[in-house]
Structure 1
Amino acid sequence: MKKILSLLIIAAATISCTDDDIRTEQDFSNGPKVIGFGASLETMAYFSDLGPIERNVQVSVIGNGNGQYSDSPILVSYVEAPEEALAGERLAVEGLEYDYVDTFGTATIEPGASFVSIPITVHTAALSPTEKTVLYLKLTTVSEGSTIGEQYQIVKIAFVGCLSTLQGNYTAVISWNNGTSSVTRTDEVVTQVGVNTFRTRYVANYPAATFSPQGYEFIDICDELTLPDNQNLGGFSNDVLGVPFTSSVPYHGLVAPDGNSFQTAYDVVPYPGLNNRVFRTTYTRN
């Protein structure tokens, strides 16, 4: 088991694993095989006309049931799910931003395999430089002996033509306990680690040297910020989870119109002894 960070003492503690630490879909010893999308968000970002480019969306075996991959094919059915779009999101159009490479609606995880890819052609010339468009896919059925993991049933595909330039030096004001506690970091550095993907130096109220790698990652999709799934504090098994910025803003943060500041909201789980632990951070360029 990886270390779990005690948030009262910056040190590793020996903690026993309990059944509560194991998600149902991660119990490989019994039950059906759990099938789901490998990520809840796929970003397909291009900033110039590169022609048609093929990308893949993975459907994975997330829980193996008896601990073995299937010895028979697993047929997966899926549909487009425009009803999942958030208020204000513009839906991508098949034939404009994207096309399906294979026959739409079904895919097969072959015997012994851990995933199958749904290939999608991205028409890079059609991506907007100012606004994302989205496509939602939803799993509907799988073969007998398997089940769809509820939290892995839907993937949001964002087609992005907006190039982000958030990397740089910042002053970060980090608050928690509903804003009653805070710390200011004047030496925050935001580093670009991928296309429109960035990593901070600090996370929560910890010194920078606590974790390796430092900080947390986030993705900028046309000024809407999202923390990726399955993100741990470096060297520990505590999760960093993005939370809706406000009741009316479902994303995990926003960039100011002038591009000189941005804000994020996230939780750290577990965080023993601290309630109202959502950390809200305002980053302002130095």
Structure 2
Amino acid sequence: MKKILALFVASAFAFSCADDDPLATDQLAGGPKLVGFQESFTSVSYFEDLGTIEHEFPVTLLGLGNGQLSSEDIVITYDAAPESDAVEGYEYDFAEASKQVVIPAGSTFAMIPISVHTGNFDPVVKTTLKLKITAVTTSGVSYAEQNRILDIYFIGCQSTLAGDYNVKTTRKDTGAIYNFPGETVTMTAINTFRTETVGPYRVTDFAAGANAGYTFIDICGVIKVPLQNLGDIYGNEVKGMTEDGTDGAVVSSSYFSVNYQIGFGTPVNSVWRPFTSEYTRI
């Protein structure tokens, strides 16, 4: 039985369903054999010099064509895209000199190892390694263009946004305003936070088991809202307003704002409602 979100509002919304709706990447039996990154970005954060630490980033089979796993190894070549501003040899090095990784026959993923030099992170601004698949040399397998690049943010600036705020949320297409006094913003991971409200919806508007609010990431004063399911269980999605991840800004130690949108409609998330939430520290 699909979960339905009961929101106590005047008009009826067409909510989509979540638990048994497959993700696009679950459709392994259709389309060509493709590899790529399942996420568009990830972050690596260090605030002190811990030396060189190796991190691994997965590259995955996103489609299987005829539904069968590959009977031979899939060889993938990668490199830093020219748009990267992180410096190879200073903030990071590729652990494999060949810049190749292999998804073994019968498997669905491989890990790309990168050596991270933690003592060389900028304490004020992030830098970005745009990890790009450059070739797939196995016959019958290619890369998914929209999943070809993984942005790896190197972050040396620690966010301190956790705390209590008065929140003013504006629906941008109608001008409707929703005020939420005394909202707590909680840090859930390094530079990652969870609010208690999203759009016009507060904790009491969600069904049991849902996670109220939305998740955002503070990357050296620039806020990004990653794609996520509303309440973590519904098919309705929440995401930022921009393609480049500049979805908000930390203006001062007592004020920041975030721009995001919530998907509604039939088919799923065919209508997006834009919101701006302003947070003033109490």
Tell me which interval the TM-score lies in, with the shorter structure as reference length.
0.7 to 0.9
Q: Quick one: which amino acid aligns to residue 120 of structure 1?
A: I
Residue in 1 that maps onto 2:217:
219
Residue 79 of structure 1 and its aligned partner are, at CA, apart by 2.5
Say if 2:144 is the partner of 1:160: no
Residue in 2 that maps onto 1:188:
183
Residue 100 of structure 1 and its aligned partner are, at CA, apart by 1.1
Residue in 2 that maps onto 1:242:
240
**Cα distance in 2 between the residues matched to 1:204 and 1:56:** 35
Say if 2:109 is the partner of 1:115: yes
Q: Structure 2 length normalisation: TM-score?
A: 0.85
The answer to whether the 8 A contact 1:130-1:161 is kept is yes
What SS does the corresponding residue of 2:273 show, helix, strand or coil?
coil
Say if 2:197 is the partner of 1:202: yes
The answer to whether the 8 A contact 1:174-1:204 is kept is yes
What is the number of equivalent residue pairs in this alignment?
272
What SS does the corresponding residue of 2:87 show, helix, strand or coil?
coil
Residue in 1 that maps onto 2:36:
36
When residues 197 and 276 of structure 1 are mapped into structure 2, their CA distance, relative to the original with a 3 A threshold, is: closer
**Cα distance in 2 between the residues matched to 1:92 and 1:66:** 39
Residue 197 of structure 1 and its aligned partner are, at CA, apart by 0.7
Q: How does 1:249-264 map to 2 (within 5 A)?
A: 251-256=246-251, 258-264=252-258
Q: How does 1:10-25 map to 2 (within 5 A)?
A: none
What SS does the corresponding residue of 2:134 show, helix, strand or coil?
strand
Say if 2:54 is the partner of 1:54: yes
Question: Which piece of structure 1 moves more, 103-112 or 164-173?
Answer: 103-112
**Cα distance in 1 between the residues matched to 2:34 and 2:228:** 17
**Cα distance in 2 between the residues matched to 1:102 and 1:201:** 43
When residues 163 and 172 of structure 1 are mapped into structure 2, their CA distance, relative to the original with a 3 A threshold, is: same
Say if 2:75 is the partner of 1:75: yes
The share of aligned pairs that are identical, in percent, is 37
Alignment deviations for residues 43-86 of structure 1 (CA, whole Å, 9 cap, x no partner): 11000111111111211112333344323211112221123x5x
The answer to whether the 8 A contact 1:25-1:149 is kept is no
Say if 2:249 is the partner of 1:281: no
When residues 69 and 250 of structure 1 are mapped into structure 2, their CA distance, relative to the original with a 3 A threshold, is: same
Residue 276 of structure 1 and its aligned partner are, at CA, apart by 6.3
The answer to whether the 8 A contact 1:3-1:237 is kept is no
Say if 2:262 is the partner of 1:268: yes
Residue 224 of structure 1 and its aligned partner are, at CA, apart by 0.8
**Cα distance in 2 between the residues matched to 1:14 and 1:56:** 33
Alignment deviations for residues 83-114 of structure 1 (CA, whole Å, 9 cap, x no partner): 3x5xxxxx111111111111243211112222
**Cα distance in 1 between the residues matched to 2:94 and 2:160:** 31
Q: Structure 1 length normalisation: TM-score?
A: 0.84
What SS does the corresponding residue of 1:267 show, helix, strand or coil?
strand
**Cα distance in 1 between the residues matched to 2:143 and 2:195:** 34
Over the residues paired in the alignment, what is the CA RMSD in angstroms? 2.9
Q: What residue ranges of structure 1 are gaps of 5+ in the alignment?
A: 86-90
